[in-house]
Amino acid sequence: MDEREEEKAFIQQLQKFWEQRGVTIKIPQIGGRELEVFKLYKAVTKRGGLKVVSANKLWKEIVDQFSFPATCTSASFTLRNHYQKLLLAYEQKYFFGKEDGYIYDEEMSSNRKKTKIGFEEENQQASYAVEAEDRQHQQEYIGQPLLTLLNQNYSKADKAETLFFIKKSKIQAQASEVKRIMLAFESRIDDELTFAINNLLMYSCNYSQSFLLDQYPQLLDTITTYVEDTIKQISYLNKSYSFKTCLQTIGQQQLENLGQQQRKSMQVQTDLIKNQNVLENYNSHISVIMNDQTAEIVKPSELIYQKKYKDLIQGNYEKKAECKHLEKLRTLFVALRNLAMIRSNETCFMKQDKLLSFFYQILLSGADQELSKSVLEIFSVLSKHIHLKQSAYMDPFMQKLIEILNGESYEDIGLVTETLRNLISISDNEALIEGTIGEYIDQLARLLIYQNQELREIVLEFFCYLSDLKMATRLSIAKHPKILQRLVAILSIGQIKNNSLKQQEPRNNQDKINEKHVKLAAITLNNISQAPAAKQYLLIFEKELFLVAASDETVTPLLSQILFELSLVE
C-alpha cells in the first residue's frame, strides 16, 4: 500500500471512529489548504503522543514538516488544537490501546480544567481519559467515579477548592451578533466598538467555520465608513486634515460669528495639531484646540471668542484620544487581514473600491508600521485580482513594492515577492512589471539563495512567469551575473536527491520541496534558452546542465531541449 492509499484508509477509519460516537468530522484548513491529518498523526505518535510532544515542546519541530504560508503565524498552537479535537481520542484508543472510558487530558491539567472531547449529546455526561505511565496503572482507573479520579489527580489541591468544568463550544457568528457589530460601527459608541472589533477578530480566526462576507453584504460598507471617519480623527494618518475642514462640519454660519481675529488664532492651533506626534500627545485634535498651547498673551476679548468656540465644539463632539482610535483601527485591520485570507472573501474585498483606496493610501504613506504590515498582507492575497492599469495608484504602488523589496525586513520582502508573483500572473500587469525589472532583479537574485524555502519557491515561480515574457526580458535575466549561476546550483539538488534514492533512503517532504524547486529552475532556464541572444550566457553552464540531465529524470526533457538549443550555437 503506497502513502496515498494509506492516508485515504486512515481518513476513512478516523471518520468511522467518530461516526460510531455520533459525530461527523470535517477536515480543517490552515492557510487556505486542507490539513494533512494523517501526516500530523504520524508525526505526533512517532514522538510518543500528544503528552510527550507538548511536554518536550516539539510542536515547532512538527510544524517544520508542513509547508505552511508565512502568514500562518500561530501554526504550533493551531496544530495542537486540531490534534486535540480530531486525533487525541483516536490516539488514546489505537495508539495506547485504552478503552472508551475516562480519558484524562494531561494538556489541560495545569489550568485545572476539563473539556469534553466530543461525540456526546447535549445532556450526555462528559467522558475523560486517564493518562497513566503504563497499561497496568491505567486499568486501575477504568470504571471509577469522576470524583475519585479528580481526588487522585489533584491530591495536592486544596480540598475546599471548587473545580469548574467548561464545555467547549464552536466560535460561530450568529446573525444577531453580526447585526450588533454593524450597528456598533454606525453608532461609534466606544464600548460597542470594542465589542464589534474583538468579535470580528475572533470570527476571522475561526478555522473550523469560515466567516463569509457574502452572507453579510452590508458589513464591509459599514466598516469602510468607520475606517474613513477614524482616519480623519488621527492627525498623523490624515495629513490633509485642516482647521477649515473641521469648521465645515460644524456650520459655516456659526463660525462666521467667531470673527476674523479668532479665526487666525484658531489656525495657529491647527498648525500645532498637524505637527504633533500621537505617541507623545494622547489628545485628539479637538482636545488640543480646547487647550491653549501658545506662549503668547491672549487678550480678554479673544478668550471670550475661544470660550464660544469651545462650547460649540463640546456641543458637537466627544473628547477621545487619538491613541484609542489608532488601537481600534490596528485591531480592525488585523481582522480584515484574516478575513482576506479566506478565499471566498476575496471577491467581496475587490468590490470595495473605497476600502481598497484606503489600503493603498495607508501603504503608500507608511505613517503607521502595523497598519502598513496588515495592508501588505492583504495585498499579498488580493493581488491575484488586481489589474494595475485600472488603479489610480498604479505607479506609486509599484514603487512602494520595490522600495520594500529592497529593504531589510525579510518578512515584508516575502509578502512583496508573493504580491509580485500574483500580479505578474495577470496579463495586463506584465508590461509594467517588465518595465521595472532593473529596479528589483538584484534583490530577487539574492533571494534565490535565501534559507527560507517557501520564499525561495515564490521567487522561482516569479522567474518562471518573468522568463516567459518578451525576449528582451529573458535576455535581461540571462545577463545578470548571478541568476543563471544560482538556477544551475538549484538544479544540482536533483543529483543529491538521485544519490539518496540509490542509497534507498526514505522519501520525505524535503525531497518533494527540492524536486519542485528543481523543476521551476529547469523551466526558467528553458524559457531563457528560447532567446537567441541569451544562449551565449548559458553555454558557460553546458557541462553542469548535461550532468544534471543525465542523473535527474524529472528534468531530463527540459534540460535536453536546452542542450539542443545550445548545440545550434556556432
* Angle, vertex CA 157, rays to CA 154 and CA 162, nearest 5: 95
Residues contacting 370, CB < 8 A, separation 6+: 330, 333
| Bigger pLDDT: 114 vs 134 | 134
What are the beta bridge partners of residue 103?
129
Residue 497 reports pLDDT greater than 80 = no
Residue-level pLDDT at 316 = 52
Residue-level pLDDT at 338 = 93
Share of the chain above pLDDT 70, in %: 69
Q: Quick one: how far is CA 388 from the chain centroid?
A: 23
Residue-level pLDDT at 100 = 58
Residue-level pLDDT at 144 = 52
Pick from 455, 475, 478: nearest CA to 541: 478
Position 514 confidence tier, pLDDT thresholds 50, 70, 90: confident
Position 171 confidence tier, pLDDT thresholds 50, 70, 90: low
Quick one: cell of 386? 488586481
- pTM to 2 decimal places: 0.58
Q: Quick one: how far is CA 366 from the chain centroid?
A: 19
CB-CB contact of 428 with 485 (8 Å): no
| Bigger pLDDT: 530 vs 164 | 530
| Bigger pLDDT: 294 vs 26 | 26
Residue-level pLDDT at 513 = 83
CB-CB contact of 392 with 364 (8 Å): no
Dihedral in degrees, nearest 10, Cα atoms 524, 525, 526, 530: 100
Position 138 confidence tier, pLDDT thresholds 50, 70, 90: very low
| Neighbour-count burial of 455, counting CB atoms closer than 10 A to its CB (0-12 exposed, 13-18 middle, 19+ buried) | buried
Position 304 confidence tier, pLDDT thresholds 50, 70, 90: low
| Bigger pLDDT: 112 vs 404 | 404
What are the beta bridge partners of residue 34?
29
Mean residue pLDDT across the chain: 75
Residue 398 reports pLDDT greater than 80 = yes
Residue 515 reports pLDDT greater than 90 = no
Residues contacting 340, CB < 8 A, separation 6+: 346, 349, 377, 378, 381, 382
Least confident of 74-78, 134-138, 216-220, 444-448: 134-138
Residue 504 reports pLDDT greater than 80 = no
Residues contacting 445, CB < 8 A, separation 6+: 480, 482, 483, 486
Position 387 confidence tier, pLDDT thresholds 50, 70, 90: very high
What are the beta bridge partners of residue 283?
321
Cα→Cα distances 38→25, 45, 86, 317, 508, Å:
14, 11, 11, 58, 14
pLDDT single digits (tens) 411-452: 899 999 999 999 999 989 999 999 999 999 999 999 998 888
Q: State in Å, rounded, how far the first CA of the chain is from the last one.
A: 52
pLDDT single digits (tens) 7-46: 888 888 888 888 888 888 888 888 778 888 888 888 888 8
Report the C-alpha gap between 290 and 307 in whole angstroms: 9
Long-range contacts of 14-19 (CB under 8 A, 24+ apart): 14/86, 14/87, 14/90, 17/89, 17/90, 17/93, 18/118, 18/119
Residues contacting 482, CB < 8 A, separation 6+: 445, 446, 448
Q: Quick one: how far is CA 134 from the chain centroid?
A: 42
What type of residue sits at position 422? N
Report the C-alpha gap between 528 and 294 in whole angstroms: 66
Residue 512 reports pLDDT greater than 50 = yes
Residue-level pLDDT at 73 = 66
pLDDT single digits (tens) 213-270: 999 989 999 999 999 998 888 877 765 433 333 434 334 444 454 455 454 554 544 4
Residue-level pLDDT at 281 = 40
pLDDT single digits (tens) 371-385: 999 999 999 999 999
What are the beta bridge partners of residue 249?
none
pLDDT single digits (tens) 312-328: 555 554 445 678 888 89
**What is the pLDDT averaged over residues 523-550?**
90
Quick one: cell of 61? 519541530
Residue 341 reports pLDDT greater than 60 = yes
According to the 3-state scheme, what is the secondary structure of 160-219? CCCCCCCCCCCCCCCHHHHHHHHHHHHHCCHHHHHHHHHHHHHHHCCCCCCCCHHHCCCH
Least confident of 296-300, 308-312, 456-460, 545-549: 296-300
Residue-level pLDDT at 385 = 93
Residue 156 reports pLDDT greater than 60 = no
